Amino acid sequence: MKNEKFQGHAAVLVANVIFGLAVPMSSFLLVPASADGKAWLGPLGYIATRCFFAAIIFWIIQCFLPKEKVERKDLWTIILGGVMGFAVSQTFTAWSLYYANPVYFSFVGALCPIAVMLGAWMTLGERITGVKTVGVIIGLAGALLMVYMSATGQSTDGINNLLGLGFALLSLLTWVIYLLITRKVSAKYSSVTQMKWTFLSSAIVMVPLTLVMEGPEQQMLYTSACTWQAAGATAFVVLLATVLGYFMIPYALQRINATTVSTYTNLQPVVASVVAFSIGQAMLTWDKPVAGVLVLLSAYLVTLEPKKK
């Protein structure tokens, strides 16, 4: 039992470090870096690329593993949760990274434990203690600081930080819905079984949608204009942040609870911020460390378990 818990903690730790590194990588692919206003990928094309290649990889992997029969009702749960947790959530993520600086985006992601707690309170009747209430207030203060700096134009790193923050919040909410929807089936089926259906259903949704809505705008990555940097960032996002990262989340959920899994989300803003500052994607201004401290402190307080009498 202890060994399984250790494996669960290790899996979610690695996954969130990867997700943290993926934030500046994705920003590099999505934000236009030249005067002609062209990016390597559009937001929808970014998601379609991830889910298309991830679906192929997971279906190839399952050919070498024992076949696992999925009950029909569970299959629909996996598909619904997968579309919500990847196609919808990551599309909001892509739009957020296009408009907002990667540091602000990662801070919103750190509010995940608060969203999970509120979701558990509304759906499961989980009690909210006084300490957790203080944590929620502190987290809201951090979020309001980012909104204020964006609304007043004092944070100029992103194209439109306020709009980007809105998309980041939607991404967070849909991710929490994914955790709540799939928490039961995650314990019944292997990660590969869940992910092959998750990415297949997401690809069926996103690839046609991308062709219709963005079409030729995806040409930069798939032509001779592509550089080694763009190809490497895409490979990292697909192979590590999509295939390996999303494999490890259900693997961890089979061994530790959803609240603990959401707690590790706090690593993402730390990793993402350090990388973004170091490569010049964001400027280190006074509001970012203050907002970061408030958000991380709130996440810590929310995940504190009350002492047993």
Per-residue pLDDT of 44-81, as tens digits, reads 888 888 889 999 999 999 888 888 888 888 999 888 88
Q: How many domains in the chain?
A: 1
Token code pair at residue 155:
């944070």
| Predicted TM-score (pTM) above 0.85 | no
307 lies in some domain: no
pLDDT in tens, 271-280: 888 888 888 7
Answer yes or no: is 174 within a domain: yes
So what's the pLDDT on residue 1? Answer: 62
Residue 155: the pLDDT is 61
Q: Is residue 309 part of a domain?
A: no
Instruction: Residue 149: give the domain boundaries.
Output: 2-302
Report yes or no on 46 lying in a domain. yes
Do 195 and 58 touch, CB atoms closer than 8 A? yes
How far apart CA 233 and CA 229 sit, in angstroms, is: 6
At 59 the pLDDT is 93
Q: Is residue 308 part of a domain?
A: no
pLDDT at position 125 over 60: yes
pLDDT at 309: 47
Evaluate if residue 188 carries a pLDDT over 90.
Answer: no
> Each residue of 155-169: pLDDT tens digit?
656 678 888 888 988
One DSSP character per residue, 177-242 reads HHHHHHTTGGGTS-HHHHHHHHHHHHHHHHHHHHHHHTGGGGTTTTSTT--HHHHHHHHIIIIIII
| 134-148 confidence digits (pLDDT tens) | 877 887 788 778 877
Residue 173, domain member (yes or no): yes
